[in-house]
């Protein structure tokens, strides 16, 4: 979830560490050099803070 928008990229990418590029009108979800998803951005919502969590160990 980025800027109160849920970005869905699919189960095949579960557990991957991704980079989210915030552009003027879109969010780009990248894994290395591969683009996983492109989502339209709500122009009213602004990213307030950046927080990343580690995967939970079982």
Buried b (16+ CB within 10 A) or exposed e, 19-45: ebeeeeeebbbeeeeeebbebebeeee
pLDDT digits (tens, 9 = 90+) for 2-26: 777 777 788 887 888 888 888 888 8
Are 1 and 7 within 8 A, CB to CB? Answer: yes
Question: 35-51, pLDDT tens digit by residue?
Answer: 888 888 877 766 666 66
**Residue 45 has what pLDDT?**
67
All structural domains of the chain with their residue ranges: 1-46
The residue that leads in pLDDT, 56 or 23, is 23
| Greater pLDDT, 1 or 19 | 19
28 CA to centre of own chain: 7
Q: What is the DSSP letter of 5?
A: B
Residue 49 has a pLDDT of 65
Q: What is the per-residue pLDDT for 1? A: 72
Calpha distance 35→31 (Å, rounded): 6
Residue 38, H or E segment: strand 34-40
């Amino acid at each position: 979830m980025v800027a109160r928008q849920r970005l869905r990229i699919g189960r095949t990418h579960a557990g991957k560490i991704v980079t989210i590029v915030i552009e003027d009108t879109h969010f780009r979800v990248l894994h290395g050099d591969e683009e996983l998803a492109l989502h339209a951005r709500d122009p009213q919502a602004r990213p307030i803070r950046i927080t990343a969590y580690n995967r939970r160990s079982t």
